[in-house]
Amino acid sequence: MVLIDGKATSAKIKEEIAEEVKTLVAEGKKKPHLAAVLVGSDGASQTYVNAKVKACELVGFDSTLVRKESNITEDELLQIIDDLNTNDDIDGFIVQLPLPDHIDEHKVTMAIKPEKDVDGFHPTSLGKMLLGLPTFLPATPYGIVQLLERYGIETSGKHCVVMGRSHIV
């Protein structure tokens, strides 16, 4: 039996990304810039977004955190998304889920330009993923694939069960 060490693998991937960023900067190219939009005060969401900000710092990315209260209107959130979509300094962004009940998550997802959809939730992103075309991939399944590949675990012919399937998994 092989013990899969997710923390060690994550640290190795971050080292690899940091080296890539150093190379980009040395070549005079722009540092990647990730933005995250956090609406409300959901504890798990705050923890997740804070981890993304720290990871950006660790690998040499620029990051922007947009925090809004849970009483933000849907139109105000859509305007923030439009601003991020058109901001050439931002390479990609996430809108952290869940959102308050009065905001339509589908409408929010559809408002994010696919080329900036770091979560990979937009239908265009999902379609490209299914076709094997370059696109951002949902983090959780991609992380699992990375673990399987880096540990040389063959999946062909195997069976698995996914509990709690969602847009994220």
Active site (annotated) includes residue 96: yes
Residue with tokens 């923390």: 7
Choosing from 96, 101, 113, 128, the catalytic residue is 96
Choosing from 14, 42, 52, 83, the catalytic residue is 52
Active site (annotated) includes residue 146: no
| DSSP, residue by residue, 64-96 | EEEEE-TT--HHHHHHHHHHHHH-TT--EEEEP
Choosing from 46, 119, 128, 146, the catalytic residue is 119
Q: What CA–CA distance (Å, rounded) separates 121 from 114?
A: 8
Active site (annotated) includes residue 12: no
Which residue, among 112, 117, 119, 124, has the nearest Cα to 141 in the 3D structure? 119
The first and second tokens of residue 28, run together, are 């005079």
132: region left, alpha or beta (phi > 0 left; psi from -120 to 50 alpha): left
How is residue 8 annotated by DSSP?
H
**Would you name the residues annotated as active-site residues?**
52, 96, 119
